[in-house]
Amino acid sequence: MSSISGLVEDEISSFFESSPPLKNKEEVVAKLNQFIELNSSRQGEKRRIVCVTSGGTTVPLEQRCVRYIDNFSSGNRGAASTENFVKAGYAVIFLYRRGTCQPYCRSLPDDPFLECFEFPDAKNIRVRESHSEAVKMAVMDQQAAVGEGRLLKLPFSTIYEYLQMLREMATALKDVGPCSMFYLAAAVSDFYVPWNSMTEHKIQSGSGPLDIRLAQVPKMISILRSNWAPKAFCVSFKLETDSKILIEKATKALQKYKVHAVVANELSTRKEEVVVVSSSGNVVVRRDSDKPESIVEDNLIRLIVDRHSTYIKENHT
Ligand code: 9Z3
């Protein structure tokens, strides 16, 4: 378990104290507790629970937000990983950026509602033949996962919402111990405008060039590991655009935050391969290029689940 300095702890406390409170906190906490309770007490069988974070956080520039800073993340990694975790028997809390890619929808067109359906006559609606298999699989798999209590989806938009929800989630999962996992694939902003130094109203365009000072977002992984959920298995991600520094940065993150593995990926090749960096060495994970349907998450989640199994055995109380 890692320990964090008083300075980092102060930065984290002041981040939360100055954040606008989560609007639907009671509802989020109630859903979380109900989901965890359901999956921890299934006739003696204790299901593993993973929190998958997905998509990018926004950084608002005004309190009554008109403009914000965003990032590239499509949520594809998180959605595909969620499907694989469900397949591996996990219950998944999918903490995702509103509007990004959803589990089971990856093979549907961008606007499925408008593209997948047709009207043979004024009274009837049917799925177009060309999309019928993809629609059937998406609806059946999603309804089965949610219906069996194996998938809980919670949306966020801003960096403030994301970090508050992550804290709620970690606190709620604390008692699940080694059977819980954090799989932090969301692209989290490194910089933000602190709420109390943010203008309330829309920034006016007439006042010439705009200077904005961005503060550093405190890294929450350290407090997640040391205080919020110290027994959970924790996988973080490192993204770089320069492949020359990727592994070095991932190795530093592994040591600094004392996570169990860091998934290192480079922006342009992220769908082809990742490197899992851990204390037992670095493993390159690729999609099976001879199978067109294959995605890197199929092999990645197999490896992560294996590592989690070993961790549970070693930490069995
Ligand atoms: C990742 O590295 C994810 O794999 C991607 C997935 C965001 C690249 P897509 O959503 O892409 O499928 O389009 N996520 C973590 C990125 C990140 O913000 N990492 C931080 C860092 O690199 C550490 S928490 O400093």
Among 8-12, 98-102, 258-262, name the one with the lowest average pLDDT.
Answer: 8-12
Which one has a higher pLDDT value, 139 or 317? 139
CA of 81 to the centre of ligand 1 (A): 13
**Average pLDDT score over the chain:** 95
- pLDDT above 90 coverage of the chain, percent: 91
pLDDT at 316 over 90: no
> pTM above 0.85?
yes
CA of 149 to the centre of ligand 1 (A): 27
Give the integer Cα–Cα distance in Å for 286 and 298. 9
Give the integer Cα–Cα distance in Å for 72 and 56. 7
CA of 221 to the centre of ligand 1 (A): 14
pLDDT at 2 over 70: no
**Which pLDDT does position 7 carry in this prediction?**
86
Give the integer Cα–Cα distance in Å for 263 and 16. 27
With left for phi above 0 and alpha for psi between -120 and 50, is residue 20 left, alpha or beta? Answer: beta
Q: Tell me if 264 sits within 8 A of 274, measured CB to CB.
A: yes
pLDDT at 149 over 70: yes
Which amino acid residue places its CA nearest to atom 18 of ligand 1?
Answer: 187
Q: Which of 229, 249, 238, 240 has its CA nearest to residue 182?
A: 229
Among 89-103, 193-207, 258-272, name the one with the lowest average pLDDT.
Answer: 193-207
Element (H, E) at 113: helix 112-115
Measured from CB, residues less than 6 Å from any atom of ligand 1 are 73-77, 184-185, 187-188, 236-239, 265, 270
Q: Which among 159, 163, 238, 262 is the best mutation to test ligand 1's pocket, defined by most ligand atoms within 8 Å of the CB? A: 238
